[in-house]
A = this chain, B = another copy of it.
């Protein structure tokens, strides 16, 4: 049993070699899958926080509403991510979380995280690494929103999401799925949906990205990176300094091993 059908096991395994025992512990987090449909919120700001969720299928996002009704989307989550980690140290939710599309989530209680800490040093370190990576994503978003123009911001985000999708699901091609509305993109990147539309037009004219419905084609990734001032280092987390990592095993190499 290799649990490679489990999204979260694949995700964690990316950080370092997991023992069968570790994989079993992880897979156990996904014991209670729940179907959930697009637009549904898992929880809202202010509710009691006592569970985490693994995200098995579908995209989700976390958000905050302000007094004036404005919304800020804080993070976009892809399958394999853990939802609710940000509230580890809080009794109440600081942020709401909602589904971008239909998906499957698996709840597990906060307490379970402590059990995990006591059962496996490796998983503890990986969990910490995942939190650290999430913070890196957030920092980069802050830099974008604070210091980059609308064009740069959008270009930068498209690049980020392109790489993140490739990391968990490495199929090639210049075309990617992007199931966010322009309103959601605006709330994520700190601009209005109207300006998102205009900015896509500009990127389109500059031949940097073509959006069509919920798909984006990126003809020249290098050019897009330049436009957005993109430096991928913040996506390449790595625990090799602490723990032994999986040797890179392309599908073919694996065949030779056995």
Chain A interface residues toward B at CB < 8 A: 15, 50, 64, 66-68, 70, 72, 74, 85-92, 94-95, 110-111, 114, 117-118, 121, 124-125, 127-136, 138-139, 141-143, 145-148, 190, 229, 233-234, 236-242
Known: A64-B139, A90-B237, A136-B94. Is A242-B114 also a contact (CB below 8 A)? Answer: yes
A237 touches B139 (CB 8 A): no
Main secondary structure of the interface of A (DSSP, over half): helix
Query: CB distance A86 to B139 under 8 Å?
Result: yes
A132, B237: Cβ atoms under 8 Å? no
CB A120 to nearest CB in B, in angstroms, measures 10
**24 pairs, A vs B, C-beta closer than 8 Å:** A64-B143, A66-B147, A70-B147, A72-B142, A72-B146, A86-B135, A86-B136, A88-B128, A89-B129, A89-B133, A90-B136, A90-B237, A91-B238, A91-B240, A114-B121, A124-B124, A128-B131, A131-B135, A134-B135, A138-B138, A138-B142, A141-B142, A145-B190, A147-B190
Known contacts: A66-B147, A66-B148, A125-B117. The answer to whether A239 contacts B72 by CB under 8 A is no
Contacts of A91 in B (CB 8 A): 238, 240-241
In the complex, the count of this chain's copies comes to 2
User: Closest 6 A-B residue pairs measured CB to CB?
Assistant: A146-B190, A89-B129, A89-B237, A89-B132, A88-B132, A145-B146
- Give the Cβ gap from A227 to chain B, nearest Cβ, in Å: 11
**Of the residues B64, B110, B124, B130, contact of A117 by C-beta under 8 Å:** B124
Q: Are A132 and B85 in contact (CB under 8 A)?
A: yes
Which of A130, A138, A139 has the most CB atoms of chain B within a 10 A radius of its CB? A139
Bound-state CA distance A136–B229 (Å) is 26
**Chain B residues within 8 Å of A110, by CB:** 241-242
Q: State the CA gap A257–B132 with chains docked (Å).
A: 41
Q: Which residue of B lies closest to A126 (CB)?
A: B89
A239 to B70, CA, bound (A): 31
